[in-house]
Structure 1
């Protein structure tokens, strides 16, 4: 369903310093912006914000950045984090394609990718957020040992992603084809996940860790 344009969304976001409308000058400056040296975790595609707001509330000593394209979505995420009094979240309206332009080397300590577009056509596979083309971008700004937590309801995307991560030197730390029955206790459900789990759909989930840099001997 296509979102109706909300012309008031961008002006509302521009009045709040938790919405970073022009993030291009923030590269290498995120810790200074947050005013502390806490780890910075990144969600790529935050939807309505249930996941990121819950996570940030549970972990006040971690800073969070969430990226999504639509102001019409992010403005409600902004309202949600303000209602919860959260100061450790920043929202960025932008194409994820350009994510490597706003973070410097080793600025990010964890990435969450929840229910991204599966782009099922072979000619569109390179648009997947777990495709090697994107993983190579992430490697330019994440620390060695950084984990990527990935959830999807799409079997083909998940199976392909297992190979994508391996190809880009991420070790598979955890994998389940049915998150709801896995016993994994650290899961936080998104709105999408709650909806489709209620219909009996199995959620696929994996944790993939970028291999540590090897020193010279």
Structure 2
């Protein structure tokens, strides 16, 4: 079901071939060709209005970013933010490391090949609070198994939510799958917002309302896990 918006939304996003991709399954296993380089690919699943993916791609030019959502209107709004973020002071536009994709996350393995992605961001996903809807939560094992298939040896999942119930569910889901978690925070911004931290639209609103933000990172890839364990040993030695 599409969000309500002004007329011509579909035509608008169809015209943005330099930024918006409407047939992502055609690029499965070929995303590095889309970007024209072998830089790591980070993906935000359910990007909303696109502030996070737009700013992250601007701040990290050596990483390729893909923002995914299933609503035409959100793709259009995100495209406005992406273009604004990537317009330089001299007026030139550089969208070389960002793409926006209209797609249903439930079919994510139709879009990406094995080991094609390095990082997945899950920012303020729908908590689906009713128990009967647990399988729809993006941290349910059914989804996580798909993420594990497309993540490479450096693969990680970075997860943020304002929902305590979803956070608790996610902790148990990741633990039951035997996955290593790190940097678990029950109140991410308790000591203030780090200057390098990119906020989503929802996050800014929740902070203003005094709502705690919960966050964690899941280490998936073998190389990422080895690096994590090595870092822990170094801390212990110090």
Unmatched tracts of structure 1, length 5 or more: none
In the alignment, is residue 151 of structure 1 matched against residue 152 of structure 2? no
- Contact 1:147–1:210 (8 Å) recurs in 2: yes
Superposition deviation, residue 183 in structure 1: 6.2
Superposition deviation, residue 147 in structure 1: 1.2
| Correspondent of 2:114 among 94, 105, 123 | 105
| Correspondent of 1:209 among 203, 207, 219 | 219
What is the CA deviation profile of residues 184-212 of structure 1, one whole-angstrom value per residue up to 9, with x for unaligned ones?
A: 74531111111111011001010111151
Which portions of structure 1, spanning 4 or more consecutive aligned residues, are displaced by more than 4 angstroms? Answer: none
Q: TM-score, normalised by structure 2?
A: 0.84
Matched length: 213
Matches within 5 A, 1:161-176: 161-176=170-185
What is the CA deviation profile of residues 54-111 of structure 1, one whole-angstrom value per residue up to 9, with x for unaligned ones?
A: 1011001100001111111110111221223332111111211111111001100000
Q: TM-score, normalised by structure 1?
A: 0.92
- Contact 1:170–1:211 (8 Å) recurs in 2: no
Matches within 5 A, 1:16-35: 16-17=16-17, 18-35=19-36
- Contact 1:135–1:168 (8 Å) recurs in 2: no
Query: Which protein is bigger by CA-based radius of gyration?
Result: 2
Distance 1:53 1:139, change over 3 A: same
Superposition deviation, residue 160 in structure 1: 1.2
Deviating more after overlay: 36-45 vs 4-13: 4-13
